[in-house]
Amino acid sequence: MAGHGPHKHRDPEVLVALGTDPDRPQELGAGYEICMGPEMERHVVNKLSMVFIPGDFIHWPFRVTKVTRPFIFIEAQYSPKDVETSFRDLVPGDMRDKYVLIDSDGSSEKGKAKPQRGTPPR
């Protein structure tokens, strides 16, 4: 499994990555990449970081590429309910079954959030 596929949220989101070495607070002790925007511009990070993602901005959550020591990751959304739209067409067809693609209208009713693997719903 490769992770959570490309998507956007209605509301802003913040991603924070913190290292755990008190003697070197800027060192993350890991490396990750995140893709941003409809062109999926790739960003590689290996230091303490905070990423602000505006509402309705397509992003592909981070993929950890290296870990040399444990690190802390925090994700926060400025929303009372998660509203998410997936972008299946940004994932190559042969890779869609490796990602979780979620479409959610923010409803708390059972069955409203629809995590899906691979192909779009019928």
Tracing tokens 């970081």 back to the chain, one arrives at 49
Q: Average pLDDT, whole number, for the chain?
A: 84
- Segment 49-90, tens digit of pLDDT: 999 999 999 998 678 889 999 999 999 988 877 788 888 888
Beta strands in 1-122 (DSSP E): 3-4, 7-9, 13-19, 27-36, 41-47, 49-53, 59-67, 71-77, 83-86, 99-105, 114-117
Domains and their CATH numbers in the chain: 3-117 (2.60.120)
Q: Tokens standing for 5? A: 């596929």
- Picking from 112, 116, 13, the residue whose alpha carbon sits closest to that of residue 59 is 13
Kindly report the pTM of this predicted structure. 0.75
Cα-flanking dihedrals φ and ψ of residue 32, to 5°?
-145, 160
Give the span between the Cα atoms of 99 and 30, in whole angstroms: 22
